[in-house]
A and B are shown apart, each in its own frame.
Chain A
């Protein structure tokens, strides 16, 4: 088990709703990355936060947004949910470089 925790573990929403997912980073890690993993696919990079600033973003629309707090925990917000947003959402934290990156257990989101 890593020190990265995520909540909730599972979530069911309907199309058009909004959702907030939470991540607590491993102690000492100042960088949090969020990934979306659809069934049968590899994780797709959504964005990354370093010391409370977004410092990288993948090919995701603006309705995917995030925050990082002073304790380096993070939130992922998704507005106007679509059916294709159904996936496993993973957060990962590291410090110094991604060779120290640890993933949390993920939040499985189902959009109906």
Chain B
């Protein structure tokens, strides 16, 4: 079982729709959870971090965490063509320990 699993996609949504990206992780001691966006040919960019069960909202982005189900998700409201990228889910046991990434989900927003 992979430590962090994501559907590779591509996930295609029309402009203005809600994009829903999902991630599961295997290590129950994970404490910190991150969503990164990576445009083609570029390096990853942190867009959301979440540490507690529930929802965390930042602009058009909402991260959701359910530690009991070992599940993290990212919702992107009012999707724009500029949101087209690969979204990487990452987890960390806490503090100065390694961050483990999933393989990423490619999102395509169709104008």
Interface residues of A (CB under 8 A from B): 31, 33, 35, 40-45, 48, 50, 55-56, 58, 90, 97-99, 101-106
Q: Which of B59-110 contact A (CB under 8 A)?
A: 88, 90, 92, 95-104
With a cutoff of 8 Å between Cβ atoms, the chain A residues found around residue B90 in the complex are 42
Q: Return the contact of B44 from the options A31, A44, A97, A103 (Cβ within 8 A).
A: A103
Nearest opposing residue in chain B for A58, CB measure? B98
B55 at the interface (CB under 8 A from A): no
Q: Return the contact of B32 from the options A40, A41, A45, A98 (Cβ within 8 A).
A: A98
Docked complex Cα distance between A99 and B44 (Å): 13
With a cutoff of 8 Å between Cβ atoms, the chain A residues found around residue B46 in the complex are 99, 101-102
Interface residues of B (CB under 8 A from A): 4, 8, 32, 34, 42-46, 49, 88, 90, 92, 95-104
A97 touches B100 (CB 8 A): no
B99 touches A42 (CB 8 A): no
Known: A90-B43, A97-B95, A105-B43. A41 touches B34 (CB 8 A): no
A106 touches B49 (CB 8 A): no
